[in-house]
């Protein structure tokens, strides 16, 4: 298997991604835009402290068949307001479920906790941040690291962030993921210092790393330095494909995405986390036979794990009045 042209969520044709940062603070919003006629959506929420919006609509037994965008945001529950700005932008261009008098865009959302990590507890995304992320959305390469919803992210004592990855199956179908890595657990194998998700990388994707005894000791110290507090973590992911799935199939794809979280983070789905995985099917390719469906689901798990590892590699050290979060790369380099 090989990665798509950008090794990113946007390798699924029709998807666009945009990031926006709040003017102050260490927080932001990321939006994934579906094609104008929407995409089939699913979700699986497994963390004990989730912050979500419109996830009930993704239940296969409920009415709405397609979603028009998915929003990931910092700001904890306050950050759910960012979805209002995305809805307003979609309404302005006539995208949504037709109803008497207009349209209602379907925009599920989920948030990570980053309140106060920039030194100001009141700095959190709002409708304007969501609108800015919408305006920035584009196909093509996706910026990774300390951007969008990943600006205030941390994982296991290290700086977290946004990561993305893709794979093209032998059938020509694409499976891709985007993750916001903000976990109570660690993305590092603390016996070796390697990133847990890197072992699932495609050839050449993750170059070998030199972990000195001093760097390994530092990684272990950072992972155990500050115990998490209830509700102050959460890793979010979205996995997408161009294969045709119904809502039940999309929900199962999201479930498989959680296997990727479990391969790339330890521990995961804890009482401190609100872990949630969304799934989208643009339905541009035929529905899969049972074997292709199995391969699709297996690839979903791996591509989420790779996105998490890539987010950790792309993150850079951040120092704010609330503290300093060192990046994985800087710890390895001894900086």
Per-residue pLDDT 10s for the chain (335 aa) are: 899 999 999 999 999 999 999 877 899 999 999 999 999 999 999 988 899 999 999 999 998 889 999 999 999 999 999 999 999 999 999 999 999 999 999 999 999 999 999 989 999 999 999 999 999 999 999 999 999 999 999 999 999 999 999 999 999 999 999 999 999 999 999 999 999 999 999 999 998 899 999 999 999 999 887 667 776 899 999 999 999 999 999 999 999 999 999 999 999 999 899 999 999 999 999 999 999 999 999 999 999 999 999 999 999 999 999 889 999 999 999 88
In angstroms, the CA 160 to CA 67 distance is 28
| CATH number of the domain encompassing residue 327 | 3.60.70.12
* pLDDT reported for residue 231: 66
* pLDDT reported for residue 261: 97
Number of domains forming the structure of the chain = 1
* pLDDT reported for residue 230: 72
In angstroms, the CA 327 to CA 335 distance is 9
DSSP 5: T
- In a 13 Å sphere around the CA of 243, the CA atoms on its Cβ side amount to 30
* pLDDT reported for residue 265: 97
Q: Which string of b and e fits 91-110 if b means at least 16 CB within 10 Å?
A: eeeebbbeeeeebebbbbbb
Q: Does residue 14 form part of some domain?
A: yes
- In a 13 Å sphere around the CA of 14, the CA atoms on its Cβ side amount to 20
Provide the domain limits for residue 280. 9-333
Helix axes of 290-314 and 247-264: crossing angle, nearest 10 degrees: 40
Q: Which two tokens stand for residue 169?
A: 């199956």
Q: Does residue 39 form part of some domain?
A: yes
- Tell me what percent of the residues of the chain surpass a pLDDT of 70: 99
Helix axes of 82-92 and 127-136: crossing angle, nearest 10 degrees: 50
Q: Does residue 4 form part of some domain?
A: no
Hunting for tokens 């009415």 — which residue is that? 63
The helix/strand/coil state of 46 is: coil
Q: Does residue 1 form part of some domain?
A: no
Q: Does residue 2 form part of some domain?
A: no
Q: Does residue 291 form part of some domain?
A: yes
Listed residue (161, 159, 183) closest to 320, CA to CA: 159
Q: Does residue 88 form part of some domain?
A: yes
- In a 13 Å sphere around the CA of 124, the CA atoms on its Cβ side amount to 20
Helix/strand/coil percentages in the chain, nearest 5:
30, 25, 45
* pLDDT reported for residue 227: 66
Q: Does residue 178 form part of some domain?
A: yes
pTM score, two decimals? 0.96
């Amino acid at each position: 298997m090989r990665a798509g042209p950008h090794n990113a969520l946007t390798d699924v044709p029709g998807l666009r991604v945009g990031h926006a940062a709040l003017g102050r603070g260490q927080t932001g919003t990321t939006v994934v835009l579906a094609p104008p006629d929407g995409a089939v959506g699913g979700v699986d929420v497994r963390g004990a402290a989730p912050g979500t919006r419109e996830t009930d609509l993704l239940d296969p037994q409920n009415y709405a068949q397609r979603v028009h965008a998915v929003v990931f945001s910092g700001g904890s529950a306050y950050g759910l307001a960012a979805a209002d700005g995305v809805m307003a932008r979609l309404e302005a261009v006539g995208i949504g479920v037709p109803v008497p008098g207009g349209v209602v865009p379907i925009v599920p959302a989920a948030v990570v906790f980053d309140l106060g990590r920039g030194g100001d507890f009141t700095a959190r995304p709002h409708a304007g941040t969501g609108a800015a992320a919408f305006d920035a959305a584009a196909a093509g390469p996706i910026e990774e690291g300390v951007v969008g919803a990943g600006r205030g992210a941390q994982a296991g004592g290290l700086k977290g962030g946004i990561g993305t990855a893709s794979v093209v199956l032998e059938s020509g179908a694409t499976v891709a993921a985007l993750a916001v890595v903000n976990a109570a657990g660690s993305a590092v194998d603390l016996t070796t210092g390697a990133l847990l998700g890197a072992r699932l990388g495609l050839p050449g994707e993750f170059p070998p790393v030199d972990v000195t005894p001093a760097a390994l000791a530092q990684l272990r110290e950072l992972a155990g330095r500050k115990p998490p507090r209830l509700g102050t973590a959460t890793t979010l992911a979205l996995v997408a494909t161009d294969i045709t799935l119904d809502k039940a199939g999309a929900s199962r794809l999201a479930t498989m995405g959680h296997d990727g979280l479990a391969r790339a983070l330890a521990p995961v789905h804890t009482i401190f986390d609100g872990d949630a995985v969304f799934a989208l099917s643009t339905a541009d390719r035929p529905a899969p036979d049972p074997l292709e469906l199995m391969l699709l689901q297996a690839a979903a798990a791996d591509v989420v794990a790779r996105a998490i590892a890539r987010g950790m590699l792309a993150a850079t050290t951040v120092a704010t009045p609330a503290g300093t979060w060192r990046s994985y790369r800087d710890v390895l380099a001894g900086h």
